[in-house]
């Protein structure tokens, strides 16, 4: 995944920008989702901290929203607790949604 995203990562493996093309966005989301502990329940502050460790453009809200929209991340109805979905979508599943 790092090789695919090499133009979007710094030397520490953090996203330096959020790709504008859909396929690269999806790869970026998969990459970020891999950094989140499965089975752990996070507060919004905690999930933002994890996301903050893996990007440099200062927008954890966009990443959090995109992870939720694309079914990597689930949250309670109030947005206070976040957890990874049991089934993580593959690139093929994600691309299939947009055909």
Q: What is the pLDDT of residues 84-99, one digit of tens each?
A: 999 999 999 988 877 6
Residue 18 pLDDT: 96
Residue 96 pLDDT: 85
Q: Return the CA Rg of the chain.
A: 13
Q: Are 70 and 23 in contact (CB under 8 A)?
A: no
42 has a pLDDT exceeding 70:
yes
Give me the residue label for tokens 């939720």.
68
Residue 79 pLDDT: 86
The model's pTM is 0.92
67 has a pLDDT exceeding 90:
yes
Q: Provide the residue ranges of all domains of the chain, joining segments of one domain with +.
A: 6-96
* Mean pLDDT to the nearest integer, 17-34: 96
Cα dihedral 36→39→40→44 (10° resolution): 70
């Amino acid at each position: 995944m790092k090789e695919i995203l090499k133009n979007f990562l710094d030397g520490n493996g953090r996203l330096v920008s959020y790709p504008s093309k859909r396929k690269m966005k999806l790869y970026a989301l998969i990459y970020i989702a891999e950094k989140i502990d499965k089975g752990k329940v996070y507060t919004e502050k905690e999930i933002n901290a994890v996301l903050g460790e893996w990007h440099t453009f200062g927008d954890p809200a966009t990443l959090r929203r995109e992870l939720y929209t694309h079914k990597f991340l689930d949250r309670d109805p109030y947005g206070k607790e976040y957890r990874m979905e049991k089934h993580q979508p593959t690139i093929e599943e994600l691309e299939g949604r947009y055909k």
